[in-house]
Amino acid sequence: MRLGVLDIGSNTGHLLVVDAHGGAAPLPAFSHKEPLRLAEHLDADGAVSSTGVKALTDFVASALVVAEDKGCSEMLGFATSAVRDASNSYVVLETVHRETGVDIQVLSGEDEARLTFLAVRRWFGWSAGRLSVFDIGGGSLEIAGGSDEAPDVAWSLPLGAARLARQWFSTKPSADELRDIRRQIRADIAESAGHLLRAGAPDRAAATSKTFRSLARICGAAPSGAGPLIARTLPLKTLSDWIPRLIEMPGDELRDLPGVSPSRTHQIVPGALVAEACMDIFDLRELEICPWALREGVILERLDQISVLGDRPV
């Protein structure tokens, strides 16, 4: 079947059209995306602004046309932390539905971590043993771990790269401010780290998301053009060596780094601080970059449902 997966993230709206059936890897057929930056369209009360709502509605309407043109039999729409945490979340989703007819499901942070873990497990397979998985999105950080397809532990923290950029990096922080930011990030992660640490060291530790991919590329990983089957890693030592340089770089130099999207330049430093904190606190010398993430997890779960229930709405 041909599915359209509509991912409303904190940074980007992304429709991925895939050809999918049980027992096979989802095959991407078409991609349509726009930089919505919803995490940065929040007012003082935490509500998505009218500008943000219009941008989202316009994007969903365009995605619906693309999905129909590409022959999708079903479109799965979901939203993550920017919509989930917005004080007017219900109004945003009702507006989108009224204007486009598209229903968007808001994923909880735990579900986001769980579905990302499922995608990583399927990518690496059972030979990966016990997995630890990390995903830095625009609004949140997801962490999960376990030995099966469903993680034993899965949780979410409000440490997304766009959220931190908005909170702490609207102007260049001083050395003392950077130290405070770094300390706060690590304290937030360490508070719940025992969920994962008490099971012992993982057999494999993996990372997903654009932030981790960009950091890995900066640190020497192969470009995306080399294909998804090329092994890519993010070494802690290399990342730690890069962070002081990234902090000092002006925006135009950051934009010129390999793997950095112009719309995400301001998120590189906060994202790097979160990535380094995860690797330090969980005692990981490197993270393997997995090309599958939340979108693939949503697809895989839907295929699993179809195989059990038949092609019926769920």
CATH code of the domain in which 48 resides: 3.30.420.40
pLDDT tens, residue by residue, 81-95: 999 999 999 999 999
Count of the separate structural domains present in the chain = 2
314 pLDDT exceeds 60?
Answer: no
In this structure, are 117 and 34 located in the same domain? no
**CB atoms near residue 194 (< 10 Å):** 10
Beta bridge partners of 34: 13
| Listed residues 106, 137, 153: the one ending a domain | 106
The answer to whether residue 300 is domain-embedded is no
In this structure, are 235 and 92 located in the same domain? no
Q: What is the CA radius of gyration of the chain?
A: 19
pTM of the model: 0.94
| Listed residues 85, 106, 127: the one ending a domain | 106
The answer to whether residue 303 is domain-embedded is no
Q: Yes or no: say if 49 and 43 are a contact pair by the CB < 8 Å rule.
A: yes
pLDDT tens, residue by residue, 176-232: 999 999 999 999 999 999 999 999 999 999 999 999 999 999 999 999 999 999 999
pLDDT tens, residue by residue, 105-123: 999 999 999 999 999 999 9
In this structure, are 145 and 279 located in the same domain? yes
pLDDT of residue 37: 86
**CATH code for position 234:** 3.30.420.150
pLDDT of residue 313: 47
In one-letter notation, the amino acid at residue 239 is L
| Percentage of residues of the chain with pLDDT beyond 90 | 87
In this structure, are 120 and 229 located in the same domain? yes
The answer to whether residue 309 is domain-embedded is no
In this structure, are 126 and 266 located in the same domain? yes
pLDDT band at 311 (very low <50, low <70, confident <90, very high): low
List the one residue out of 219, 253, 210, 209 whose CA is nearest residue 239.
Answer: 219
List the one residue out of 71, 63, 65 whose CA is nearest residue 79.
Answer: 63
First and final C-alpha spacing in the chain: 16
Domain that holds residue 14: 2-106
pLDDT tens, residue by residue, 8-32: 998 899 999 999 888 888 999 999 9
pLDDT of residue 8: 95
In this structure, are 57 and 184 located in the same domain? no
DSSP code of residue 244: H
In this structure, are 221 and 264 located in the same domain? yes
294 pLDDT exceeds 90?
Answer: yes
